[in-house]
């Protein structure tokens, strides 16, 4: 016979203590491979650093609206030979220039100074974490601007306000189409964006036999890598000093993790890299310090970039459109990688692929309202990121000089 003790009665719902998790969860940020490679360009000595990002040391010119950097062209042609007289056959120096710009970038948030909202959120430290995210946002915005600069010549801050008319976006002048031969894969640059866009989409169509349906021949395979390597030499892309590569010099090649998966799997790739490829586990320690590194191929250090941009072909017939897809700050992924008409990009980067002018360092800003019941907090920076495209005094098509980077467009491996 049981004791018959009554079980405990559940407490009335309105008397139960409601617990909650005080630790706020946030979506993790993707690793940015561009954080480490930067060097200072000193205007007085005109020395280009051994880095992808060339940061302009312009303390004396920080108040300038713009800065002009001059490039001295190399001596070309043959010499003077007997019996030709040297007088009258002198060569005059030729120069090209690039003008860099800057604009202000601000990001602001609002928090309660006191009152009901402040008390409700205090257990979470919600607004403290909200303000802390300003630093993360600025890093992500800077990473976005770097990728925009490589693909579209100018970072986000320069396409607004006072610099809008001066910084018209166009595609990278050194533009390759994977799947075409070495002689035809580089598109002829045109300073008119619409004309250059048409040429690029026509090149994509040609590489696909007249259609946009992705083909395995358009992925980052051996023929396309080898052709890109030869064109990096032909375009005089200035190599970086990279210990561990053949001859100690080469270029950084960035690709999406989708291209990296396809490229690194010999059982999947129809044209895997073979003996010219050195995989991650066989690299020396110096090369392993590069973010996203996955191996080497010839003079390329292959790195995967989780935020590698895409190109989205729009329209159903000519005139076609072309839009760049990026990962924006936060978790805003606008790359549309599940669309058949979307193409992947590959960046080949040498010295000074990007000019990064920090005219006024990042600072905190504030605006209080309603007797400090509302607190505005934010950051401000004056910066300009752009591609170093040198040109003559009176530019014409074909007169540009760009020695820092190449963009190659590929098909997305998810469709092969």
Q: What is the pLDDT of residues 329-357, one digit of tens each?
A: 987 999 999 998 999 999 999 988 999 88
How far separated are the first and last CA of the chain, in Å rounded? Answer: 73
For residue 53, give every residue at least 6 positions away whose Cβ sits within 8 Å of its Cβ, in sequence order, or none: 34, 37, 38, 39, 146, 353, 354, 356
CA dist 301 and 364 (Å) reads 38
Instruction: Decide: 406 and 228 in contact? Cβ < 8 Å.
Output: yes
Q: What's the pLDDT band for 256 if we cut at 50, 70, 90?
A: very high
CA dist 217 and 180 (Å) reads 9
Residue 35 has pLDDT above 60, yes or no: yes
Average pLDDT of the residues in 285-291:
75
For residue range 165-180, what is the model confidence (pLDDT) as tens digits? Answer: 999 999 999 999 999 9
Q: Which two tokens stand for residue 315?
A: 């329209």
Closest CA to 408 of 245, 246, 259, 264: 259
Task: Tell me the DSSP string of 315-371.
Answer: SSSSSPEEEEE-EETTTEE---TTSTTEEEEEEEE-TTSEEEEEEEEEEEEEEEETT
CA dist 321 and 338 (Å) reads 18
Q: Which residues pair with 54 in a beta bridge?
A: 39, 355
Q: What is the pTM of this model?
A: 0.86
Neighbours of 315 (CB within 10 A): 11
Instruction: Decide: 375 and 368 in contact? Cβ < 8 Å.
Output: yes
Instruction: Decide: 355 and 40 in contact? Cβ < 8 Å.
Output: no
For residue range 111-126, what is the model confidence (pLDDT) as tens digits? Answer: 888 888 888 777 656 6
């Amino acid at each position: 016979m049981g004791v018959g003790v009554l079980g405990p009665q559940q407490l009335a719902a309105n008397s139960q203590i409601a617990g909650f998790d005080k630790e706020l969860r946030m979506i993790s940020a993707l690793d940015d491979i561009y954080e480490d490679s930067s060097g200072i360009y000193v205007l007085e000595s005109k020395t280009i650093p051994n880095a992808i990002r060339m940061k302009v040391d312009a303390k004396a010119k920080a108040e300038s609206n713009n800065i002009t950097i001059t490039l001295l062209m190399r001596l070309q042609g043959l010499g003077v030979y007997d019996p030709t007289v040297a007088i009258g056959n002198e060569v005059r120096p030729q120069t090209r220039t690039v003008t860099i710009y800057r604009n202000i970038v601000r990001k602001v948030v609002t928090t309660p100074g006191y009152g009901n909202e402040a008390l409700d959120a205090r257990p979470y430290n919600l607004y403290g974490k909200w303000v802390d995210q300003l630093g993360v946002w600025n890093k992500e915005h800077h990473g976005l601007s770097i990728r925009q600069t490589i693909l579209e010549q100018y970072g986000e801050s320069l396409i607004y306000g006072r610099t809008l008319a001066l910084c018209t976006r166009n595609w990278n002048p050194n533009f390759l189409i994977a799947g075409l031969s070495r002689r035809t894969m580089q598109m002829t640059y045109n300073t008119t964006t619409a004309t250059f866009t048409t040429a690029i989409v026509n090149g994509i169509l040609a590489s696909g036999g007249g259609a946009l349906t992705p083909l395995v021949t358009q992925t980052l395979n051996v023929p396309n890598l080898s052709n890109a390597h030869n064109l990096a030499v032909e375009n005089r892309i200035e190599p970086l000093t990279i210990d561990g590569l053949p001859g100690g010099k080469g270029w950084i090649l960035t690709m999406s993790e989708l291209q990296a998966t396809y490229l690194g799997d010999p059982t999947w790739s129809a044209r895997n890299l073979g003996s010219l490829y050195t995989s991650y586990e066989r690299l020396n320690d110096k090369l392993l310090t590069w973010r996203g590194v996955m191996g080497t191929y010839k003079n390329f250090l292959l790195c995967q970039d989780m935020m590698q941009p895409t190109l989205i072909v729009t329209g159903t017939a000519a005139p076609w459109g072309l839009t760049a897809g990026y990962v924006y700050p936060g978790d805003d992924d606008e790359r549309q990688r599940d669309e058949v008409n979307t193409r992947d990009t590959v960046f080949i980067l040498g010295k000074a692929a990007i000019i990064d002018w920090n005219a006024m360092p990042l600072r905190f800003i504030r605006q209080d309202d309603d007797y400090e019941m509302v607190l505005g907090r934010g950051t401000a920076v004056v910066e300009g990121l752009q591609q170093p495209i040198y040109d003559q005094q009176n530019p014409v098509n074909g007169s540009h000089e760009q020695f820092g980077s190449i963009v190659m467009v590929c098909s997305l491996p998810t469709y092969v």
